[in-house]
Amino acid sequence: QQHHGIVLGADTTVAIDGLVLNKPKDAADAERMLLRLSNATHTVYTGVSVIDIETKDQRSFIESTDVTFRKLGLDEVRAYIATGAPMDKAGAYGIQEDFGAVFVRRIDGDYYNVVGLPLCRLYVTLKEFAPDLWE
């Protein structure tokens, strides 16, 4: 039986009140983003696409998750930025990290979407898209 490949691509961004927060440009940008997210609810969006490299068939979807931050103190925001961790993350935080995790008061949706890959929806999509993967 011949097997073929599937390419998976995904990217995540954060939006609040119509403003998109990608990766911060510098520490000041990260501070601005985190203070904007403080004591507010934002939405994390991940776009996912899978492509069959043999047939060129593809499936794409966007998953969204609402995340509410507690009120953040300027000192803890600056301490988090000093670690360098927020610099490569949309919205300047990673929920899977020590600081990022304690910023979050509530999640409405898929936790793994906030991490960067909505595993449940991806699994369901792949089962429909490429059922031979599960044989």
Which position among 11, 66, 88, 98 bears the catalytic label?
11
Relative to beta strand 19-21, strand 41-52 is unpaired
Which residues, including other chains, have CB under 8 Å from residue 56's CB and lie 6 or more apart? none
Q: Mark whether 29 is an active-site residue.
A: no
Distance CA 134, CA 126 (A): 9
Catalytic residue set: 11
